[in-house]
Amino acid sequence: MKKTYVYDPILKKVVEKPRKSVGSTHAIHTMEEFISPIDQSVIRTPSDLARHNKKHGVTDARDYSPQFLEKAQNERMRLFNEGGKQDRINDLNLAYEKHRR
């Protein structure tokens, strides 16, 4: 291995730079395995869960804070109530007619 030298102001000379021991940067996460309600596969590890979520285009609600979920719910309700019932009925009728053609 290549050695590195640095100037030590206390000793007033060049000394070999000590190597820092590098520990593992990976944390071991444990989770209880469970069966996916989407495709009935067994999820054992966080990487299994991440792969599963990406494959099915879903997220875990635990990834979001309660404040974020409340804000999103309020926004959905605002958009739902803003348009009015007749606008929603008209949109559904247009979509139905477009699909029939």
Domain boundaries, the chain: 29-62, 64-101
Mean pLDDT of 29-41: 88
Among 7, 27, 32, 25, which residue's Cα sits nearest to residue 17?
A: 7
- Report which secondary-structure segment, H or E, holds 95: helix 85-100
Dihedral, CA atoms, 81, 86, 88, 91, nearest 10 degrees?
A: -150
Q: Which residue has the higher pLDDT, 4 or 80?
A: 4
With 90 as the cut, is the pLDDT of residue 78 above it? Answer: no
